[in-house]
């Protein structure tokens, strides 16, 4: 007899967990690792098992899970998986400032740090049009450092919704990361939660909230790209804190 708490509709198929798909950008790396592992089986069998673990880690790093994005006005979803490490009101970087960017006034910046164990597919925080994409070459300092936002390799996005509200966010390479990849370009229409790029291998994403919006996450909270509401219109200002 079914439990009173069983909400599954009669006849509905059972849902089973499965490993998320590996993003096409990572399949070549997983294949290379698998080939090296196979070769080691014949020539250096003493390292085969560590290489098996490495192959699985590479596949897991590039995993691309399905996400369900919250719908509603005045919501900004997280563009990255990871730990919320900073919530501050800061001066805009010059790449996001000006009439074609977010203006000149300081904005609330919410930083999400991605470890090498987090999903590294980044997603757009709102539905709208990508107004600009700016890539800047730089260093590979620890992405958790504040100065990484000014000195590391990084890529800036500005997205504008149908009401003219603009959100800026930045992909920042980290200590191990050596490549930032964009899936979209200026002029593209995007839907909140849509994949817009990735960073290899451990990094940070900064989101600059529009005026009138506040952070909807807490310091130290785990964010999920495309699902966690990072900012909300009318939310109180809780800036000036960091992990």
User: What are the domain boundaries of the chain?
Assistant: 1-64, 75-242
Which residues have a Cβ under 8 Å from the Cβ of 94 and sit 6 or more positions away? none
> pLDDT tens, 149-203?
666 788 999 999 999 999 999 998 766 545 788 888 999 999 999 999 888 766 8
Give residue 3's pLDDT band: very low, low, confident or very high (50, 70, 90). very low
Token pair of 62, please? Answer: 């590039």
Strand partners, 168: 158, 208
**What tens digit of pLDDT does each residue of 112-128 get?**
998 878 888 899 999 99
| Cβ-contact 207, 79 below 8 angstroms | yes
The pLDDT confidence band at residue 32, using thresholds 50, 70 and 90, is confident
3 among known catalytic residues? no
64 — pLDDT class (breaks 50, 70, 90): confident
Host H or E run for residue 173: strand 166-173
Q: Which of 42, 67, 41, 62 is nearest to 52 (CA)?
A: 41
> How much is the pTM?
0.78
pLDDT class for 4, splitting at 50, 70, 90? very low
- Record the tokens describing residue 30, joined without a space: 């997983």
End-to-end CA distance of the chain: 50
Q: Which residues contact 129 (CB under 8 A, 6 or more apart)?
A: 159, 160, 187, 188, 189, 190
| CATH code given to domain 75-242 | 2.70.70
Determine which one of 78, 111, 149, 203 is catalytic.
203
Q: Provide the b/e sequence for 142-155 (b: ≥16 CB within 10 Å).
A: ebbeeebbeebbbb
Question: What is residue 72's predicted lDDT score, i.e. its pLDDT?
Answer: 87
| Residue labelled with tokens 């490490």 | 85
Please tell me the predicted confidence (pLDDT) of residue 99.
87
List, for residues 197-235, the tens digit of each pLDDT value: 888 766 889 999 999 999 999 999 999 999 999 999 987
Strand order in the sheet with 213-215: 75-77, 229-233, 213-215
Which residue has better confidence, 21 or 101?
Answer: 101
């Amino acid at each position: 007899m079914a439990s009173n708490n069983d909400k599954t509709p009669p006849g509905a198929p059972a849902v089973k967990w499965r490993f998320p798909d590996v993003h096409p950008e990572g399949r070549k790396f997983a294949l290379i690792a698998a080939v090296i592992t196979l070769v080691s089986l014949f020539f250096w069998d003493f390292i085969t098992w560590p290489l098996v673990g490495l192959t699985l880690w590479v596949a897991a790093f590039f995993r691309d899970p399905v996400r369900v994005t919250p719908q509603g006005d005045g919501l900004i979803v997280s563009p990255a998986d990871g730990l919320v490490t900073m919530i501050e009101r800061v001066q805009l970087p010059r790449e996001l400032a000006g009439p074609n960017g977010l203006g000149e006034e300081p904005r609330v910046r919410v930083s999400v740090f991605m470890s090498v164990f987090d999903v590294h597919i980044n997603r757009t925080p709102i539905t709208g049009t990508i107004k600009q994409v700016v890539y800047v070459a730089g260093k590979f300092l620890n992405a958790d450092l504040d100065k990484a936002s000014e000195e590391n390799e990084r890529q800036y996005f500005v997205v504008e919704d149908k009401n003219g509200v603009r959100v800026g966010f930045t992909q920042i390479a980290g200590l191990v990361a050596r490549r930032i990849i964009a899936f979209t370009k200026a002029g593209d229409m995007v839907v909140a939660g849509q994949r817009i790029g990735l960073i290899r291998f451990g990094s940070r994403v900064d989101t600059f909230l529009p005026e009138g919006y506040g952070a909807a996450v807490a310091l130290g909270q785990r964010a999920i790209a495309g699902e966690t509401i990072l900012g909300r219109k009318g939310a109180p200002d809780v800036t000036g804190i960091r992990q």
